Structure 1
Amino acid sequence: MAVETPCGELGQTAPDFTLPGIDGKMWSLADKAGPRGTLVAFICNHCPYVVAIIDRLARDAAELSTLGIGVVAINANDAIQYPEDSFAAMKEFAARHRLGFPYLHDESQEVARAYGAVCTPDFFGYDKDLRLCYRGRLDASGRLPGAPDARRELFEAMRQVAETGMAPTEQVPCMGCSIKWRY
């Protein structure tokens, strides 16, 4: 079921977290907060929306890191009902797509709930003071392959945040598969 992200309350502070990464380390928000901003992406391994954008997200994250933006991805899906989102599968997914940022597991789903994440992908872009500046999509492709000339909305928004500290005035909600909540 496709869901769209809510507008989000720009200016709210990023909730703190400490979660295990596929690299065997425990990661906190402070570990990945960049000097000019931070991007927290809720993704998973099997969602067709994530699969469609993951290589572009990896590209954009690498470029954003050169601008002082820290990037982290979190998988909060219920891996019991969706074994393709298990911790072991996360490692394979990250290797296959050459993710250059920590990929964390939110098994309790408490972090996803604290952020108000609703779907995969769901992007939360923060300024240097960890205030929410962007809650939009990567680009207009949705679950289709990205067009070569697709506007890089997430990248442009976070570059603006890094350069000016200001939130973009135009933000289009992200669409994706609902997070698979454990009930």
Structure 2
Amino acid sequence: MAAKAPICDFGWKAADARLIGTEGRAFSIHDLAGPSGLVVAFICNHCPYVKAVIDRIVEDALELEKHGIGFVVINSNDASAYPDDSFENMKRFADEHLIPFPYLHDEDQAVARTYGAVCTPDFFGFNSGLELQYRGRLDASRKEKEAGDLRRDLLAAMIQIARTGQGPAVQQPSIGCSIKWKAGSPADDWSSVTVHS
């Protein structure tokens, strides 16, 4: 069943964490920011929504690098219940799709809970002060193949943020597979989740 990300909660600061990447070393989320901002995206290996757009995510991330925007993707899914999302499969996925930015493993799901991530893909766009300015979709494609005339929402929003520090007032939420929470995870009860701390 598809899940939809909430609207942008403008201004909250990106939370930092050190997570292991597919390269085999740990990265700080804050250290991955560019001079003009940062995109933190929650993805996984098996989700059909992610599979449909991963190559466009890579393309847009490379374009955003030219505008001073850093990019990082994080997998928070429960790999015990969803073996396709294991760390070893993350490495294969990164290699297959030539992912040029860190792909991090949020094994205990603490980062996803802190950010309030709900689906894959779920995009968080921050300005140079690491203040949230975008919480929306990559584009309008969902699980479909790319149409040539699709508006590239994330790309356009982040270029605007790089130039002005402010995201667009109107944003379309991302839609994807729900995050696969571990049994008994606090995320099963949203009243107990600490978001943006």
TM-score bracket relative to the smaller structure: over 0.9
Gaps of 5+ in 1: none
Aligned-pair distance for 1:66? 1.1
Alpha-carbon distance between aligned partners in 1 of 2:131 and 2:164, rounded to the nearest angstrom: 13
Q: Which residue of 2 aligns with 1:85?
A: 85
Q: Which amino acid aligns with 1:106?
A: D
Aligned-pair distance for 1:166? 1.1
Q: Which residue of 1 aligns with 2:66?
A: 66
**1:21-65 superposed Cα distances (whole Å, 9 cap, x missing partner):** 000110012220111000000000000000010000000001101
- The two structures have a TM-score, normalised by structure 2, of 0.92
Q: Which residue of 2 aligns with 1:18?
A: 18
Gaps of 5+ in 2: 184-197
* Regions of 4+ moved over 2 Å: none
**1:69-107 superposed Cα distances (whole Å, 9 cap, x missing partner):** 000000000000000000010011111111110000000
Paired residues, number? 183
Q: Which residue of 2 aligns with 1:164?
A: 164
**1:113-132 superposed Cα distances (whole Å, 9 cap, x missing partner):** 00000000000000000000
1:1-183 → structure 2 map (5 Å cutoff): 1-183=1-183
Corresponding residue SS for 2:46: coil
Corresponding residue SS for 1:149: coil
**1:116-166 superposed Cα distances (whole Å, 9 cap, x missing partner):** 000000000000000000000000000111111111110000000001111
Aligned-pair distance for 1:182? 0.2
Alpha-carbon distance between aligned partners in 2 of 1:179 and 1:8, rounded to the nearest angstrom: 18
Alpha-carbon distance between aligned partners in 1 of 2:39 and 2:55, rounded to the nearest angstrom: 16
Identical-residue share of aligned pairs (%): 57
